[in-house]
Chain A
Amino acid sequence: MAGKDQTNGEPILSVRNLHVNVGDQEILKGINLTVNAGEVHAIMGPNGSGKSTLANVLAGKPEYIVTAGEMVYKGQDLSRMAPELRAREGLFLAFQYPVELPGVRAWQFLKAAVDALRVHQGQEEMSAREFDQMLKEKVALVEIDPDLVRRSVNEGFSGGEKKRNEILQMAVLQPTLALLDETDSGLDIDALRIVANGINQLRNPSNAMVLVTHYQRILDYITPDYVHVLLDGLIVRTGGADLALELEAKGYDWIKETAGAGA
């Protein structure tokens, strides 16, 4: 494969034959995906193919019903875990559409998130001073406007600010598995570089990332180990970083034509 050396670590996520419904409608139709420590996976695919559904079902969004298959995260069956438990176990979803929390101060929200995580790990809650210090460092790391953490979470943020705020949260929570759902969409060129830098700085051999994206350009900064193509609820093709270049050049039609056999 292209990109990095193949020094695969322990499996972090293993998705087998995953079928997911929203209401009566089947959205995911048998997904298989294994993500090992140290790896970066990119998931690409046309609008409506099920990329966000996959990310959301992994994070535990209640309205997505698993009708068949399994999702194993660090040896545990995800479908039996509440969303907050998944988060406390180190799973993080950067939302395609981050939610505004009017009146909820970013500081208070992030502190509560960090404390929930620490208490789960048997540690004490962070002192306000210690948290302040840590937050300051992360704000510098992701080059976000320090004013944003004094405001209500995402309220009135621009599209790009919301995406950067997701990366800040990720930097604060230091997840084992980060699912980034189109975090690169809607970013200007500088912001894209900053977000990519932030992501790269958070990469290490014991964690892993799944980037959902429509664009090759983020992959110029973050080289994926694998690129998967999701089409109509199925991963129809998996390749290395060069697959993203090919998709950029040729679009999805050629894959759609050959997908029948791949599925």
Chain B
Amino acid sequence: MSANEIKHAGLNLGDTDELTHGQAGSAVFGFWVFLMSDAVIFALLFATYGVMLPATVGGPTPASEYKILSAFLETLTLLTSSFTFGMVSVAMKHGASRRQLLSWMGVTLVLGAAFLGMELHDFTTMFGDGAYPTRSGYLSSFFALVPLHGLHVFFGSVWIIVMMVQVMTFGLDARVKINILRLSLFWHFLDIVWIAIFSVVYLQGLIR
């Protein structure tokens, strides 16, 4: 078994911290399996959204509600946060200073919060237009799918805060490192789900 062996998705610690790398195998793999299970939940909500898309019952429609610029900005924000989380992983792996690590985490957190703010703003606008979930089957399915992603981002942000506190209290012990690895998978995974939402929900709804 060589140190450089790839044991799990995401960044592997083999060439800088062999000890943690040894434990990370099943810990990170397990989390990855969980994400796949979560992906099925999202997939079924997408399918439900597809089924309910025609059920607008004379109410608001995708074309009348979605704002392409704001969805695009949200996408850019999340993509950027994925890159900054990549920098968190690199900093963690290569023993960067604690300040550098924490600042990358902080930047990611801010981007996550910005995303949530924009999304919330979208939702309030929709509510103001009379596009709320109890209006129609279509809006029900929209408000089950998209806010669930937002909820994930919210919990991801809470998790970032918890990990920042842990970095400050414990430094980078094996458990902190493993949890940052898991968090990175979570964050990048949410990005993929968002790409699906951006394409299937927003862009599809706005195609003329």
Q: Do the two chains bind?
A: no
Which B residues are closer than 8 A to A by beta carbons?
A: none
